[in-house]
Amino acid sequence: MSLMITDECINCDVCEPECPNGAISPGEEIYVIDPGLCTECVGHFDEPQCQQVCPVDCIPLDPQRKETREQLMDKYHAITAA
């Protein structure tokens, strides 16, 4: 599953530099995650780094984008091969 950032985001800027895939960027009001680039850090780390540093716990799994660990690993390989 891709992660998402909820409107509880306080724009603290700590999540964006932690994303190894560059999936996090500033949106119009809060940070956003590009689901095409989010692998939940599979292939890089054991846990999503953005969730680890978020001070308000506003980065849950996106229920609209269910992916298996295998699919996330395939996405990781596609992203890093480019």
**pLDDT band per the 50, 70, 90 thresholds, residue 63:** very high
Beta pairing, strands 31-33 & 24-26 = antiparallel
pLDDT at 82 over 90: no
Residue 43 confidence (pLDDT) above 90? yes
CATH number for region 16-81:
3.30.70.20
Mean pLDDT over 38-49 rounds to 97
pLDDT tens-place string over residues 1-41: 799 999 999 999 999 999 999 999 999 999 999 999 999 99
H or E, element range at 81: helix 69-81
* Coil, strand or helix at 74: helix
User: Residue 77: what pLDDT?
Assistant: 96
